[in-house]
Structure 1
């Protein structure tokens, strides 16, 4: 049995930089035709020159693979309209991080006061730039995304022409917002479709499943599954694949991030097949994203087959999700 995906896209991807970039970029570029590249490298991507230089490093790292990096800027409240007009030639979106909320986000937004953000968000709305948001407060870890919901509502109401992507949503409350505001969209990860907090910390602690936002309850996972499996028109795949070296995962003070890039499509096909929803996977991993972003992806054909795939223990110094386990599907070939 085989299943073909056309031009799969990863709309939330961390490629890091330098040595790590050279390890992980070819893994995404092999099976995906493009990815929305997150800007929270060190230092963060805040200038047009930095965007261009980072894209060049990515293109160098991916080798002969057909892959288009969709670049983003690290959101700052002091960007001018003139700057954003020039940036719009090079980026698809700006990524807003509340300060200190996740990896390399210390330079993020300190205040979510709409009046502080207004000039940038109005300019983005006029220019057709999309706002991507890591939506968490600094509250109790299981409630952070839920608490951020009121901020999403304020942003959606104040800037109705601005497309806002709620990144890597994890709660049933975030899912409910999709049908309440025309300009709210979302990415959903592979790992949040599969795991709950029980898988992370219910028994022995599993550092390679620890991420931010943290995995939530069963009812939250079920809500994510429901909209993904039925190809909700405002939901798209974004892996949030976030590589960290082993010594930063298997340690005290474990870094947050699940590395799924090399196994994402195999695991997604297995999941959708299990739920008799393979017909909707094409929309989830490509078509919906192209519609939301008004983007025409390059052509790439990925053929998967229902034969066992044994996941390697590590790629370089990075351990993937399902390391040493066997998935039911594998990639047969890529055109």
Structure 2
């Protein structure tokens, strides 16, 4: 049995810098025609010079594949001239509440004070991408942030707002209440719950932010993805960390899923008799929401088993060492 996907897109991806960028970026670029690249580096991508340099580095790391890096700016207060200059080079701006996740120390402290920048973004047609969590109890952080989304969607009705890596049924309910709200969901949040992370021995390579939630939340996310909800896009949130940052006290948050995404999505959709919806979920919806035209690629998957490597360099992938029933068998680039 075979499956073909046209120009798959990953609408939320961490590529890091330096040697890590060179290691992980080709693994995404070989299977995906494009990806939304996150800006939470150290220092963050929050000015035009940094944006140009990072874009060039990503293009260099992915040069062997027809891959479109859709770049983002780290949200802070910007003037109109800067945003006008940045607009042709970015797909959106990424808002992190201060300290809520990896490399977010420079994020937004006062969500009530960001209106002037949001007004400029609405005027210029720059989407707002949000890591939507509070600093409350870990399982409630997304739910506690939902009123912020609700307020912003009402206050800025012409601003495209993307709720990144949603993890709860409540977020899906809110998604349907505002025409300018959209969302991404990850592979790992479709497959695991908190029990997989900490129900037995702690599994550091499954620890991420937002943390995996309850079975009922996963069930709601699965139902929406499998029917290709028209406002829900695939975004892996693949976030590599070296082994010594994951298997350590103070374990870094992030799941490195890039090498296994399409095989596991094919398995998941096939097991639920939903393969006809995978193309929409992993590409078509994102093209419609963002108006992007990625490179023309065709990825062929077959029901042929393979075993996930234990590591790629010094990074352990999602489902390391497991044998998966589907694999990519051909990549055709126009």
TM-score, normalization by structure 1: 0.98
How much has 1:298 moved relative to structure 2? Answer: 1.2
Aligned to 1:99: 98
1:120-140 CA distances to partner (integer Å, 9 max, x unpaired)? 111111111100000000000
1:293-331 CA distances to partner (integer Å, 9 max, x unpaired)? 011111010000000021000001100001000111000
Matches of 2:58 and 2:149, distance apart in 1: 32
Aligned to 1:72: 72
Matches of 1:219 and 1:83, distance apart in 2: 44
Aligned to 1:19: 19
Aligned to 1:62: 62
Superposition map of 1:275-314 within 5 A? 275-314=272-311
How much has 1:24 moved relative to structure 2? Answer: 0.2
Aligned to 1:247: 244
Matches of 1:297 and 1:309, distance apart in 2: 29
Question: Does the CA-based 8 Å contact 1:48-1:90 persist in structure 2?
Answer: no
Aligned to 1:234: 231
Matches of 1:294 and 1:215, distance apart in 2: 30
> Between Structure 1 and Structure 2, how many residues are aligned?
332
2:85 corresponds to 1:86: yes
Aligned to 2:186: 189
How much has 1:63 moved relative to structure 2? Answer: 3.2
SS at match of 2:329: strand
Aligned to 1:206: 203
2:257 corresponds to 1:260: yes
Gaps of 5+ in 2: none
Aligned to 2:142: 145
Matches of 1:87 and 1:62, distance apart in 2: 22
Matches of 1:87 and 1:250, distance apart in 2: 38
How much has 1:200 moved relative to structure 2? Answer: 0.2
Gaps of 5+ in 1: none
Aligned to 2:269: 272
Aligned to 2:165: 168
TM-score, normalization by structure 2: 0.99
1:133-156 CA distances to partner (integer Å, 9 max, x unpaired)? 000000000000000000000000
Aligned to 2:212: 215
SS at match of 2:330: strand
Question: Does the CA-based 8 Å contact 1:241-1:261 persist in structure 2?
Answer: yes
How much has 1:117 moved relative to structure 2? Answer: 1.0
The 4+ residue runs of structure 1 with deviation greater than 4 A are none
Aligned to 1:6: 6
Aligned to 1:30: 30
Matches of 2:34 and 2:295, distance apart in 1: 8
Aligned to 1:49: 49
How much has 1:49 moved relative to structure 2? Answer: 1.4
Matches of 1:26 and 1:271, distance apart in 2: 24
Aligned to 1:133: 130
Matches of 1:71 and 1:128, distance apart in 2: 15
How much has 1:8 moved relative to structure 2? Answer: 0.2
Matches of 2:276 and 2:68, distance apart in 1: 25
Q: CA RMSD in A?
A: 0.6
